[in-house]
Copies of this chain bind each other. A is one copy, B any other.
């Protein structure tokens, strides 16, 4: 069970914000804002009937619920659970799309500790079954967003798991990933890049 300081929503009242940030992650509140950007562009895609892609709810282990008379059930004890899959999935142009969005304040590399092993396992499984699975990485200081497909991630992740690598260098990401246009309307129009990938059949389409 892990505490996710970067998953805070604006509705959360922090009784002690600092204590919740002890983990060695270099994306805190900013991760939230990137996630919100993706949620927003997904709403645009949905409204314009371009795609149906949603963020999954934050997984919560519900321990105690009170049922006050004549009002809504209140969860009075719950814990953040480690997500077993990625944050976003849905359908675009008949293709199953599945991805995780991560942000770093680091300017030169993306530390792979930011991604959970089971999330990567999920990404590779989806790709095996003919889905388009990827990671969106935002360098928040540089305001650069890249899309890295599962194919690209596989060898990097194998090196990480062997202990031969701790991060993806920005140069590696620039070379092997796709730059997502960000100064567009809608902002973070990642389906532009997905179009390119689908058109080039740069993923395993079905069995």
Contact = CB atoms under 8 A, between A and B. Distances in A.
A108 B114 CA distance: 51
A201 to B, nearest CB: 13
Contacts of A94: 96, 129-131, 205-207
A91 B97 CA distance: 9
A15 B91 contact: no
A179 interface: no
Given A3-B73, A76-B77, A62 B9 contact: yes
Contacts of A49: 125, 128
A61 interface: yes
A170 B59 CA distance: 35
Interface stretch (A26-34, A78-86, A134-142): A78-86
B93 A51 contact: no
B72 A1 contact: yes
A17 interface: yes
Given A54-B85, A60-B58, A77-B76, A95 B96 contact: yes
Interface stretch (A63-71, A154-162, A185-193): A63-71
B14 A65 contact: yes
A19 interface: yes
Contacts of A85: 54
A207 B20 contact: no
Interface of A: 1-5, 8-9, 11-17, 19-20, 46, 49, 51-52, 54, 56-69, 72-81, 83-85, 89-96, 98, 122, 125-126, 128-131, 205-207
Given A16-B66, A19-B69, 7 more contacts: A3-B67, A11-B62, A12-B65, A13-B64, A15-B65, A58-B62, A93-B206
